[in-house]
Amino acid sequence: MVISDAHRLLFVHVQKTGGSTIDNRLDAVLSDTRQVPGIDRHATLGQILAAEPGLAAYWTVGYVRNPWARMLSWFRMVERFKERADRGRRGADAFLKKNHFIKGVADACPDFETFVMKGPDQWTRLRTPQVRYLTSKTRRADFIGRQETLEADLRAVFARLELPWEPLESVNVDKSRPDYREVYTDPMRRRIEEIFAKDIAAFNYSF
């Protein structure tokens, strides 16, 4: 999450939707960015508002992504950290020791099929619809952008906030990731369709 009290802005960071790129840009142009102490940076809107109810009045922004592409991106991130740790990269090894979720997924899901078919049963965050991150019982994000049109949508956010714009420098980009349609079997495709039915309906995504 990123909060700017001066601009009355709340950015809710949904995992694997380009959020790190957005975090970096907001931190670069806003001098007062902060988070809510004591809660995860990927907290849901409901969790954020429970911790700091006054943020309900802030203009709230979040991003979503095609669920099939998002899950592949998530697995590839885990895979990269495991490969780096296995090669003795000190930073990756330290990260895995600290991040029990990533390490647990890396140990339990040796391939993408296992990650899709079994991972969501073991880890709640792998089956949490993106729409849940961006809604609470009384609130919904005011602007929901898409990873697929990240730069254009973020430019619209900056225009709304009257902030200066420069082309994005994306981070955590997996340039070798295959087209997600090439790596799903029919059972895997249906599994994601079932888990993220709310996202597919809310944001009109398709395989």
In this predicted model, what pLDDT tens digit does every residue of 8-35 receive, in sequence order? 999 999 999 999 999 999 999 999 999 9
- Considering the domain architecture, whether residues 42 and 137 belong to the same structural domain is answered as yes
Answer yes or no: is 168 within a domain. Answer: no
Answer yes or no: is 174 within a domain. Answer: no
Alpha-carbon Rg for the chain, nearest whole angstrom, is 17
Two structure tokens written together for 194: 């079932």
Model confidence over 57-84: pLDDT tens digits? 999 999 999 999 999 999 999 998 788 7
Answer yes or no: is 15 within a domain. Answer: yes
Report DSSP letters for 5-40, one per residue: TTTTEEEE--TTSSHHHHHHHHHHH-TT-B--TTS-
- Considering the domain architecture, whether residues 80 and 40 belong to the same structural domain is answered as no
What pLDDT does residue 83 have?
A: 80
Residue type, 144: I
- Considering the domain architecture, whether residues 120 and 27 belong to the same structural domain is answered as no
> For all residues of the chain together, what is the average pLDDT?
93
Answer yes or no: is 114 within a domain. Answer: yes
**Among candidates 82, 63, 75, 42, which has minimal Cα distance to 157?**
63
Residue 187 has pLDDT above 90, yes or no: yes
**Among candidates 97, 117, 126, 12, which has minimal Cα distance to 58?**
12
- Considering the domain architecture, whether residues 19 and 59 belong to the same structural domain is answered as yes
What pLDDT does residue 99 have?
A: 79
- Considering the domain architecture, whether residues 147 and 197 belong to the same structural domain is answered as no
- Considering the domain architecture, whether residues 24 and 34 belong to the same structural domain is answered as yes
- Considering the domain architecture, whether residues 187 and 117 belong to the same structural domain is answered as yes
Q: Is the pTM of this model over 0.75?
A: yes
- Considering the domain architecture, whether residues 95 and 139 belong to the same structural domain is answered as no
Answer yes or no: is 151 within a domain. Answer: yes
Residue 186 has pLDDT above 80, yes or no: yes
Q: How many domains does the chain have?
A: 2
- Considering the domain architecture, whether residues 122 and 187 belong to the same structural domain is answered as yes
What pLDDT does residue 173 have?
A: 65
- Considering the domain architecture, whether residues 7 and 83 belong to the same structural domain is answered as no
What pLDDT does residue 89 have?
A: 72
Answer yes or no: is 120 within a domain. Answer: yes
What pLDDT does residue 171 have?
A: 64
- Considering the domain architecture, whether residues 46 and 28 belong to the same structural domain is answered as yes
Residue 172 has pLDDT above 70, yes or no: no
Two structure tokens written together for 126: 């792998």
- Considering the domain architecture, whether residues 10 and 102 belong to the same structural domain is answered as no
Residue 128 has pLDDT above 80, yes or no: yes
The torsion region of residue 162 among left (phi > 0), alpha (psi -120 to 50) and beta comes to: left
- Per-residue pLDDT averaged across 147-172, rounded? 90
Model confidence over 85-119: pLDDT tens digits? 777 777 767 777 777 888 899 899 999 999 999 99
Question: Which residues form the domain of 189?
Answer: 67-127+183-203
Q: What is the dihedral of CA 118, 120, 124, 128, to 10 degrees?
A: -170
Q: Which residue has 């909060």 as its token pair?
A: 3
Q: Which residue has 């990731």 as its token pair?
A: 177
Buried b (16+ CB within 10 A) or exposed e, 142-166: ebbbbbeebeebbbebeeebebeee
How would you classify the pairing of strands 2-4 and 9-12? antiparallel
> Which range among 5-9, 83-87, 201-205 shows the weakest confidence by mean pLDDT?
83-87
What pLDDT does residue 111 have?
A: 96
